[in-house]
Amino acid sequence: MALSFRFHAKGTVTPKGQRLETYYYRCSYMTCGITSSVQISSPVLNHDFLQLLTDVELVNKRADEAIAAHPERLEGIARPQPITVLDNLRTYLRNSLQDPQRSKPISAINKRFVVCFGVDGSPCRDLLEFLEFSYRDEGFWDPPNPNTSEELPFQNELNIFIDNVIHELSILIEQRPVSEKKTPYALNYSTSPATSDFLQALEAANYARSTRLIEFEMPGQPCYEDLGTVEDMASDLIIEAYHRQVAVDPARGPHYLQCLNSIAQWRGGPDRDTINEAVVTAYSKGAYTTNDVLKAYEYFGLSPNDTSLTEEVIIGRFHAYLSSTTQETEARQQLWRIGDARRSERIKSAAEDRVSNAEQALVYLGVEENTPDDFVITMFTTKVNDSPSSKEISEKALSLIAEKRNSETLRHFLKTGETGAGEMDVGDAYRLLQIPDRTVGDDAILAAYTICVDEAPTQVETYTRALTIIAKEKDSPMLSSFVSGSTTHNDRNLSEWPVGLQNIGNTCYLNSLLQFYFTVRPYREMVLDFENNKTELDEETLRQKKVGSRKVSRLEVERSQKFLRELRGLFHNMITTPRAFVRPEQELARLTLISSTNEAEIRRRSTISGIRPFGLGEINGAPVAGPLGPPESIKSNENENVVDQIAIPAEGNLAKDSQMSDIDSEATLISEHEENAPLPVSTAPALDPSEDPEKPTSTPSQSQTVQKVDPPSRPPPKPPRPAEADRKRQLIEEVELGAQQDVTEVINNVLFQSECAIRPRGIAPDGEQLDQIKDLFYGKTKSYITAQNGTRSKEELWSDIKVDVATGSRDIYSAIDGAFDMQEVLVDDALVEQFGAISKLPPILQIQVQRVQFDPVKKASFKSTHHLDLKETIYLDRYMDTQKQDIVRRRRDCWDWKRKLVGLQNRKAELLRLTENDGQNMPALFKNASSLLTELSAINPTEEGAGDFSDINTELVAEMDKLSQITQAEFAHIEQETKDIEGMISGSFNDYTKLAYRLYAVFMHQGSVEFGHYYIYIYDFKKDVWRKYNDSDITEVKDTAEIFRNPNRANPPTPYFLVYVNAAMKDRLVEPVCREIPSEITTENTATTVVPQTDEPMDVDVHMEMKPPSYFDLKPKGESEVVVSNLDPTSPLHPQPFH
């Protein structure tokens, strides 16, 4: 017996148009080298040819025309039936292949031929020539001319083709109705399944079979197939098959165990007992099923489908759960299964509580690879104080980290328990900033300083001290002014120039976000006038407040209002400051970077035990603490996009899920029960913001046992409060940890908190709050799913469109296409078609470019730097939800072309032999083979050491040359056809230009997936100028090529977030410059004072002209004007859906 598993499959198209799929198998026993292949082909005869052969009207018409043309010759000849036509054609082909003596030219007036195929065969000419018949002017048809000397199995292409047609005709004859089979011709042809032939060929016909087959339950899933078995196999063979599959494909071990367990249940009786023993044995060795993995996620209240789920979140949830349960063993087992399923050594080491390498040591102490040394020491101290028994393993972990980093700071602490900072000289300063050459210019020194601060913001004071020493040593006015914060551009009128934001430590992407939201005029004015926009905190208002598809608590609303007040202070400073830049507060950074859901976990990680020793200034081993790279993609089939995010529900759940939204990342951390439950704001005591909202409280039974006591005669003493310096350091650390959050998580956090803080303008049918934030930033997509039982749709709310450049460079239209194009998805175990269309456009369109991809070979993430070709203006008509047939037709044409492009690219990859390592494409391979054969045949066999190559067939050399030419021509054809199709796709909607959106902001990232630098470009429509916002430095872009061009170099700066604004509304939506510098700065000007604007603020609730065009029907250029739909006064910023 040889158990085989499929390891490769590929599809090709024959010159005759047949689609071939070839499946390759190899024996799963390592000592067996047998391989086999199975080829499946589509039918040879297409629909039109079948009509010619089997349509009674067409057959009769041809016969009547033949009889009319040759009345005497065909006198008495009846009309043939379709079965006769099929049999005659099969006879001609069978003779040509199997009996060449009887295969002779066929006279066009042969009675049998002419009544079946028409006068001169003309009505069937295309069919006959397709089957390799050829017509001679003398009035004869020559049959195909295959190689009749070839033995089975056929290798000759024509032989295979004719043999396939013969078998296909035989099946068609077999399928004809019984009434046609009453014919004098011998039409007997029996068909039988090829199963026995397969088994014989594989020498597997005599496998042990179960005697209880008729008692087995019908399989519900292809478990037998996945194990490489069949249903009647004996249980021992099923178990052996499981072991073989796990041995050769361990990554799918959980699935194979799931299959084995399912088969046991289907079989029942003694077979179930036998298989269950194997299942139990597998469990005892640490195996688990796919269902076990799902249960493990459920155990911690997580979802395996949550694409935002990171190792940090999972381990954090584990630690939080561990502190509130006595079932530590089970919790660790569940975490280990999650870690093993995700191939995460970090999660597994956390589950096993083991420390044997530096990575596990980091997990054990709850720190990251880029966590500063002094904070590593803090976490070490905290862990030992919390659990003195862990001191030995904690010291081992600290030692491993010290060796990995080569950190003298950590080694010194392990030896002495102390750490400190010494005096820094100019040599130390240059070394700290990693500047080997002291003769470099001031620009290079500032660049080195900026990089160091970006990578290790916790040491910004140390780096600044180093820069100060260098500035003093060089006597550099530029460096000195930078250190003092007085760098200005003297040629600028500050009242007409934006304000920069000082980098307060690894928050450059935060500065980009704050700059962008400041320039959105309705949002800025809402923030500045926050007190008139804030939501009330009464019980009834909070009870009805629902944001992000979930209820929000009083604590979240209060925290969000604090966030907007802090943001208001920053915006006010940006308007009134006489300086070129301002400094954001650490508290604003914390509230922006850290969501309310993640706050408790980050607080736990940043807990300080006692007074932290001052460790800044250490020269050796400067730590790295940078943000994550640009937003990470959704793992799925390549087409990760807005439509991909739609969780396809079962039919019964569709209505329930129709209003689900993914706009709020925090929602994934709250259970369904908690989401739906009302919040007891009237009875629950208010929580201190520093407390963990998930900390368990007394149960009702516990509260009943508490005896009522009289109030004390005097208030209790105040608990000790942390020193101000400690709180400040803790705040800085929380900001640093928050800065490592995904950039898009922070964007969602800003929008979520903004909605929580303000009062709604209305309530949606599902209870969701409607407000100015949704008016500005949120759109809707309608997803259509077409299955056998009809088409259904589902509408989703979103704040950005997710696109990717994973497979190569593309333009912005191609990227957005991927979010809405037709794709096949699995619903209820069936493949169905799905596509999306925009039912409501936001005035401010945000596009997230997912650049982080996963390398399955290296098992690591990497940043895709493929170029995204941006357009200054894009037209979104093509993506709108409409029933206009012209748009629908063009969409489907584009989908068909794209499917064809996939086939062309696949064939191109085959011709280029991309999966091979020899660097040769197929034309070169054939050419080199021809050259080699020619050289070998020219060798003189009489020379010493020469072999005898005289038997090399010269025809083989010529065949290699011919194949080289054919593949080269095919490659050129593919290139041209690809270019033509891409041109048709790009021009499909050129005449639909009603919905214009202008590029406004481009968020940039330079660096790798682990770290990097962020900045933003923002366009000023009034001044017609692009500006680059690089923290405190804002410069005019002289050459826009730096934004739009493809730099064609390694690791270039790349856009990771784009903002387009409605072209008709742009002047009301955005305003990059807003300055009101008082003539005299007085002490009354505070961060929270709102200065009235010089021009009237834009009230987004009443300015109806801000509404973008909206159509009952969309028409291209040249057609009649579109009809504008009725405006909805309750939603002034909502474009209406197309009808």
* Residue 426 tokens, joined: 């100019």
**Pairwise CA distance, residues 1015 & 1057, whole Å:** 11
In a domain, 70, yes or no: yes
- Give the pLDDT mean for 263-291: 92
Q: Say if residue 481 is in the same domain as residue 363.
A: no
Q: Say if residue 465 is in the same domain as residue 400.
A: no
- Give the pLDDT mean for 795-819: 90
Query: Sorting pLDDT into bands at 50, 70 and 90, what band is 490?
Result: low
Q: Mind listing the pLDDT tens digit for each residue in 69-89? A: 999 888 888 999 999 999 999
Question: pLDDT higher for 546 or 1139?
Answer: 546
Query: Residue 968 carries which DSSP code?
Result: H
- In the block, tokens 């990995």 appear at 404
Question: pLDDT higher for 650 or 759?
Answer: 759
| Residue 106 parent element (H or E) | strand 106-107
**Pairwise CA distance, residues 321 & 301, whole Å:** 10
pLDDT of 314 strictly over 70: yes
pLDDT of residue 478: 67
Q: Mind listing the pLDDT tens digit for each residue in 883-901? A: 888 999 998 999 899 889 8
pLDDT of 182 strictly over 90: no
pLDDT of residue 11: 67
- In the block, tokens 């629908």 appear at 888
Which of 157, 162, 127 is CA-nearest to residue 144?
162
Which of 132, 139, 136, 124 is CA-nearest to residue 80?
124
pLDDT of residue 1101: 38
Q: Say if residue 410 is in the same domain as residue 437.
A: no
Asked which of 948, 967, 986 is the last residue of a domain, the reply is 986
Contact partners, residue 963, CB within 8 Å, separation at least 6: 926
- Give the pLDDT mean for 182-207: 70
Q: Are 24 and 42 within 8 A, CB to CB?
A: no
Among the ranges given (306-315, 577-586, 667-676), the one the predictor scored with the smallest mean pLDDT: 667-676
**Does residue 289 sit in helix, strand or coil?**
coil
pLDDT of residue 92: 93
**Pairwise CA distance, residues 898 & 171, whole Å:** 35
Mean pLDDT is highest, among 244-253, 613-622, 750-759, for 750-759
Q: Which domain holds residue 141?
A: 43-181
pLDDT of residue 453: 76
pLDDT of residue 657: 39
pLDDT of 1126 strictly over 90: no
pLDDT of residue 1129: 35
Q: Say if residue 121 is in the same domain as residue 153.
A: yes
pLDDT of 1093 strictly over 90: no
Which of 997, 1039, 1038, 1000 is CA-nearest to residue 1017?
1000
Asked which of 940, 970, 986 is the last residue of a domain, the reply is 986
In a domain, 337, yes or no: no
pLDDT of residue 191: 66
- Give the pLDDT mean for 1112-1128: 39
Q: Say if residue 438 is in the same domain as residue 411.
A: no
Q: Are 432 and 622 within 8 A, CB to CB?
A: yes
* Residue 136 tokens, joined: 């001679």
- Residue 74, Cβ density class (10 Å: 0-12 exposed, 13-18 middle, ≥19 buried): middle
pLDDT of 374 strictly over 80: no
- In the block, tokens 């439509």 appear at 643
Q: Are 802 and 634 within 8 A, CB to CB?
A: yes
Q: Mind listing the pLDDT tens digit for each residue in 614-650? A: 333 344 344 433 344 444 444 444 443 433 333 333 3
Query: Sorting pLDDT into bands at 50, 70 and 90, what band is 9?
Result: low
In a domain, 964, yes or no: yes
pLDDT of residue 1026: 96
Q: Say if residue 66 is in the same domain as residue 161.
A: yes
pLDDT of 954 strictly over 70: yes
pLDDT of residue 328: 76
pLDDT of 1136 strictly over 70: no
Label residue 16 left, alpha or beta by phi (over 0 means left) and psi (-120 to 50 means alpha).
Answer: alpha
Q: Say if residue 61 is in the same domain as residue 121.
A: yes
pLDDT of residue 491: 63
In a domain, 965, yes or no: yes
Look at strands 860-863 and 868-869 and give their pairing.
unpaired
pLDDT of 652 strictly over 50: no
Residue 1006 backbone phi and psi in degrees, to 5: -125, 120
In a domain, 415, yes or no: yes
Q: Say if residue 952 is in the same domain as residue 924.
A: yes
Q: Say if residue 482 is in the same domain as residue 409.
A: no
- Give the pLDDT mean for 150-173: 88
pLDDT of 662 strictly over 50: no
pLDDT of 656 strictly over 60: no
Question: pLDDT higher for 845 or 364?
Answer: 845
Q: Mind listing the pLDDT tens digit for each residue in 432-460? A: 888 887 887 776 787 788 777 766 665 67
Contact partners, residue 725, CB within 8 Å, separation at least 6: none
Question: pLDDT higher for 105 or 918?
Answer: 105
Length of the chain, in residues: 1139
Q: Say if residue 362 is in the same domain as residue 474.
A: no
Averaged confidence pLDDT in the chain: 77
In a domain, 636, yes or no: no
Q: What percent of the chain has pLDDT over 70?
A: 75
pLDDT of residue 389: 66
Give CA 578 to chain center in angstroms.
45
pLDDT of 126 strictly over 90: yes
In a domain, 849, yes or no: no
Q: Say if residue 372 is in the same domain as residue 472.
A: no
**Does residue 1124 sit in helix, strand or coil?**
strand
In a domain, 525, yes or no: no
- Residue 1123, Cβ density class (10 Å: 0-12 exposed, 13-18 middle, ≥19 buried): exposed
Residue 522 backbone phi and psi in degrees, to 5: -60, -35
Q: First vs last Cα of the chain: how many Å apart?
A: 62
Query: Residue 161 carries which DSSP code?
Result: H
pLDDT of 313 strictly over 60: yes
pLDDT of 130 strictly over 90: yes
pLDDT of 667 strictly over 60: no
Question: pLDDT higher for 371 or 1082?
Answer: 371
Question: pLDDT higher for 118 or 1082?
Answer: 118
pLDDT of residue 616: 34
Q: Say if residue 925 is in the same domain as residue 943.
A: yes
pLDDT of 315 strictly over 70: yes
pLDDT of residue 420: 53
- Give the pLDDT mean for 390-414: 83
Asked which of 939, 961, 986 is the last residue of a domain, the reply is 986
Tally of structural domains, the chain: 4
